């Protein structure tokens, strides 16, 4: 197994194809690792992906549900959202948890750092476990007006991952990792 860290792609040129507040899409003319010319498209995310596993002393957690426009279907997920690239991901996690659930936490543990689709994007994600919870007021964004919150035993959320009812990648990763850490 090679552990080389040398760069094996050569970029010849680039053209921006699309840009909005959340993503930028660029097409590159390249020389691939086999020495042949080609093209490569990259989706640059303008935020970090942030996910939170809130966990109370009785091993309950909270899921949020909402209609996801790209899939045109309902999705149960851990509280999650985006954090500015230059911001501390933990501060973004605290904000997202408060906005979506009204919860705040006194103990935070980063359980995952991930790249969500590294063959086409540079999106980096962070998942935290939040404990020592206090309930407060939600601060939903307009795009979350249909959001539902569900408090349930963590073991039930884990079962939803195992049987395919939860498919969101941050949620799957975070719940599986937390389940392993909690020995559930």
Mean pLDDT of 40-67: 97
Mean pLDDT of 22-44: 96
Phi–psi pair at 96, nearest 5 degrees: -60, -45
Coil vs helix vs strand at 97 = helix
Contact 80, 52 (CB under 8 A): yes
Topology at the third CATH level for domain 47-182:
Nucleoside Triphosphate Pyrophosphohydrolase (3.90.79)
Strand partners, 52: 128
pLDDT category at 184 given cuts 50, 70, 90 is confident
Residue 145 has pLDDT above 70, yes or no: yes
More confident residue, 104 or 140: 104
pTM for the complete prediction?
Answer: 0.91
pLDDT category at 121 given cuts 50, 70, 90 is very high
Phi–psi pair at 135, nearest 5 degrees: -85, 145
CA 133 to chain centre: 21
Return the pLDDT at 147: 87
Residue 5 has pLDDT above 90, yes or no: no
Residue 2 has pLDDT above 60, yes or no: no
Mean pLDDT of 62-81: 95
96's tokens: 């997202």
């Amino acid at each position: 197994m090679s552990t080389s860290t040398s760069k094996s792609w050569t970029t010849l040129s680039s053209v921006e194809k699309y840009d909005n507040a959340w993503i930028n899409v660029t097409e590159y003319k390249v020389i691939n690792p086999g020495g042949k010319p080609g093209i490569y498209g990259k989706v640059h995310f303008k935020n970090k992906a942030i996910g939170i596993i809130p966990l109370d002393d009785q091993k309950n957690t909270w899921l949020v549900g909402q209609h996801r426009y790209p899939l045109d279907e309902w999705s149960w997920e851990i509280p999650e959202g985006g954090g500015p690239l230059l911001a501390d991901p933990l501060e973004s996690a605290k904000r997202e948890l408060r906005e979506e659930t009204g919860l705040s936490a006194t103990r935070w543990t980063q359980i995952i750092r991930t790249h969500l689709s590294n063959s086409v994007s540079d999106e980096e994600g962070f998942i935290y476990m939040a404990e020592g919870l206090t309930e407060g007021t939600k601060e939903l964004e307009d795009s979350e007006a249909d959001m539902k919150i569900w408090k349930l035993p963590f073991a039930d959320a884990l079962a939803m991952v195992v049987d395919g009812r939860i498919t969101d990648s941050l949620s799957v990763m975070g719940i599986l990792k937390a389940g392993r850490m909690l020995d559930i």
